[in-house]
Amino acid sequence: MKKSIYILFLAFISIFFIGNSCNKSEGKSMIVIMLGPPGAGKGTQAIDLSKKLKLPHISTGDLFRENIQKNTNLGQKAQSYMNQGLLVPDEIVLDMLFDRVAKEDCKKGYILDGFPRTVDQAKALETHIQNNKLVVINLEVPDGKIIERITGRMTCPKCGEIYHKTYKPPKEDSMCDNCKIPLTQRKDDTEEVAKQRLSTYHQQTEPLIEYYKNQKDVLYTINGISSKEQIQQDILTSIEKSK
């Protein structure tokens, strides 16, 4: 009797350790980072992914725009940087983001869109989250496609659905298909600001690709000019692989 209890105990211990070593992400919250140039489709993909994974979509750009709309102190500080296509300073971004991810809905993980945008921000995130599962999805889109994508973009101010005048036109001219209200264009989606945003991306954000390449099994690069459905499928496959 004693022997069989001992064998059962050993079996239990081995299953526990084998299980843990096979799936290191088990029990950890998953943080998905959407990386890529402006206009790569990070927001569009993050919205769909958020529904599928049941994790909140957190866009630092959207958080800033909400603050600007409400005319908060934070919004006033961020606005001039955004209008010029420059990055908002870290001391403003980090507090805002960490306040958001401390909320209850982020306990099981979240999808970050537009953060981190610098290696310093990535390091600050790692210090803050520690021991969570990180998956970085890098959407690759050539520069030649970016400006056209950005300047044709329109968003529903209510549901956040993103349209494009050529690639994803609404059924009725400039109206959201879901909410039936006029679509709006972002203030920084003009050609001049888009060019600056692209240059900011190359200088300050692109080094993150190398940074995450140097971390084992974290970075997944996906062709961002396939169809919306294909890209979503590639993202889901990458997330599955990372487990």
Give the residue among 154, 184, 156 at the shortest CA–CA distance from 168: 154
197 noted as active-site residue = yes
Which CB sits closer to ligand AMP, 161 or 188?
Answer: 188
Rounded CA-CA distance 165/213 in Å is 35
- Shortest Cβ 160–ligand AMP spacing (Å): 11
Contact 156, 181 (CB under 8 A): yes
Residue (81 or 211) nearer to ligand AMP, CB: 81
Strand boundaries in 141-188, DSSP class E? 153-155, 162-164
Query: Catalytic: 153?
Result: yes
Q: Which residue is at the shortest CB distance from ligand AMP?
A: 61
Rule CB under 6 A: which residues touch ligand AMP?
38, 59-61, 64, 81-82, 85-88, 93, 114-115, 117, 121, 188, 197
| Contact of 137 with 114, CB cutoff 8 Å | no
- In whole angstroms, the minimum distance from the beta carbon of 150 to ligand AMP comes to 9
Which residue in the block uniquely carries the two structure tokens 């940087």?
Answer: 81
Question: Does residue 149 carry a catalytic annotation?
Answer: no
> Residue 8 — φ and ψ, nearest 5°?
-60, -40
Which CB, 205 or 242, lies closer to ligand AMP?
205
Beta bridge partners of 27: none
Q: How far apart are CA 175 and CA 208, in angstroms?
A: 37
* Comparison of 110 and 115: residue with beta carbon closer to ligand AMP: 115
How far apart are CB 104 and ligand AMP at their closest, in Å?
23
Determine which one of 100, 117, 133, 149 is catalytic: 117
CB of 72 to ligand AMP, least distance (A): 15
Maximum distance among all Cα pairs of the chain, rounded to whole angstroms = 80
Q: How far apart are CA 187 and CA 189, in angstroms?
A: 6
Residues classed as catalytic: 42, 117, 153, 186, 197
